[in-house]
A and B are shown apart, each in its own frame.
Chain A
Amino acid sequence: MPKPLPALIACPHCDALYRRPTLGRGERARCARCGAPLYREAIKLDPDHLLALVIAASITLVIANLSPVVRLSASGITHSASLIGSIGVLWDEGRVLTAMLAFATTIAFPVAELGAFTALLILIRREPGSPHVAALLRGIQAVRPWGMTEVFMLGIVVALVKISHTAQVIPGVALFAFAALTILLTLIISYDLKALWALRPLPEAEP
């Protein structure tokens, strides 16, 4: 078994090796060689507070995905558009790849991340050494770059500006839900997962 050296820290961007610095609140360590951020004193959030945020985000996500983003009317015809409905239209029109890409980045990956995060935060309190904790953390790290809620939020705004030239636009529930979800996810993502890894006990050093 390789020997863990938790007192050291290596820069993931240039491999420079340091003794782990003790940071004050709000301080962050930068690599002296390449300038990459190394480590910051985690925002004062314990796993329970994080769990509250994750549950709030999960509820918001369901509302955002299923309810109408906007209602539109033009020449006496009115209809509403939701995210899941729009992806369905793409799929029905035969734009399967585009539909799958939009589905994965705006629905599947955020749902997977929040689901795994909920399970993880419940489990880590009872049994931080469990192998499931490691599997869940790895899963969250793998899907995190592919959830693109904040980019999608900007996409809605651009699409609305475009449509507002030709049709009357009435904002729907999901528009506000997406705005709230963007803020909640930003808070959740600013939490450094390395702090959760650090809660796991290290194996006893061999004599």
Chain B
Amino acid sequence: MTLPTAHAEGLILCETCGLVCDPGREPHPHCPRCGTTLHARKVDSIRRTWALLIAAAILYVPANLLPVMSTYTLFNTSHDTIMSGIVYFWNTGSPDLAILIFAVSIFIPLAKILCMVLLLIAAQYGVDKGLRQRALMFRVIEFVGRWSMLDIFVITMTVGMVRFRSLATIDAGPGAAAFGAVVVLTMIAAHTFDPRLIWDRSEKKS
């Protein structure tokens, strides 16, 4: 099925207010309704998305290796990484929570980085198979990304709650900041990626 696209008709969709505009012959058109600069595609989308993803992939390593929480009690001190926190839930009779934390803290960030890399490479080479599947994949990535912040909030509230003076305190570890950065970077990467690029090259071919 071939459908007309805004780009092929010389029109631009305003990304802020959703108005379709005819830019005429102006070199730097602005949306007549909201004033946003009009671009047919997000500016420098592929390069910016690559940069953000590479940064996220690098930070994924310290996020998983460094402790995210340290527990101090009268008798001992223990450091927990994301994974050992998951094992703790599994062993203390909450396998459901263990699975939830594993999904949002380990599986989703990694799957998100790998899927975005796939989307970028496929868009750059103009792969014309599985277009609808890739479009759906992008929408899923965009939707689930924010839930990875769960562990940051669990850490924040646990640190605030466990303040029993010398008896027991919990402190956040350096891994938490790295993990937060991974989530933020992948969210920005999903925002800078222009899903219309999935379709653009394949169209020129046909």
Contacts of B17 in A (CB 8 A): 137, 194, 197, 200
A22 CB → nearest B CB, Å: 17
Contact between B16 and A2 (Cβ–Cβ < 8 Å)?
Answer: no
Contacts of B162 in A (CB 8 A): 72, 163, 166-167
In Å, the complex CA distance between A66 and B146 comes to 24
A25 is an interface residue with CB less than 8 A from chain B:
no
In the complex, residue of chain A having the shortest beta-carbon distance to the beta carbon of B93: A165
Size range of the interface on A?
35 or more
B65 is an interface residue with CB less than 8 A from chain A:
no
Known: A9-B20, A75-B167, A95-B176. A16 touches B157 (CB 8 A): no
B129 is an interface residue with CB less than 8 A from chain A:
no
Contact residue among A14, A16, A200 (Cβ-Cβ distance under 8 Å from B198): A14
Contact between B154 and A10 (Cβ–Cβ < 8 Å)?
Answer: no
**Seed contacts A79-B164, A86-B156; 18 additional CB < 8 Å A-B pairs:** A2-B21, A5-B22, A13-B196, A17-B11, A34-B195, A75-B167, A85-B160, A98-B155, A148-B146, A152-B153, A154-B150, A154-B153, A159-B157, A162-B154, A166-B162, A194-B17, A197-B16, A197-B19
B100 is an interface residue with CB less than 8 A from chain A:
yes
Contacts of A151 in B (CB 8 A): 146-147, 149-150, 153
Contacts of A114 in B (CB 8 A): none
List residues of B (1-28) whose CB comes within 8 Å of A's CBs. Answer: 1, 3-7, 9, 11-13, 15-24, 26
Known: A155-B157, A203-B32. A90 touches B199 (CB 8 A): no
In the complex, residue of chain A having the shortest beta-carbon distance to the beta carbon of B183: A101
Chain A at the B interface: SS class: mixed
In Å, the complex CA distance between A101 and B159 comes to 15
In Å, the complex CA distance between A17 and B160 comes to 51
Contacts of B160 in A (CB 8 A): 81-83, 85-87, 89-90
Chain B at the A interface: SS class: mixed
Chain B residues with CB under 8 Å of chain A are 1, 3-7, 9, 11-13, 15-24, 26, 29-36, 38, 89, 92, 94, 97, 100-101, 131-132, 135-136, 138-139, 146-147, 149-165, 167-168, 171-172, 176-177, 180-181, 184, 187, 191, 195-196, 198-200
Contacts of A26 in B (CB 8 A): none
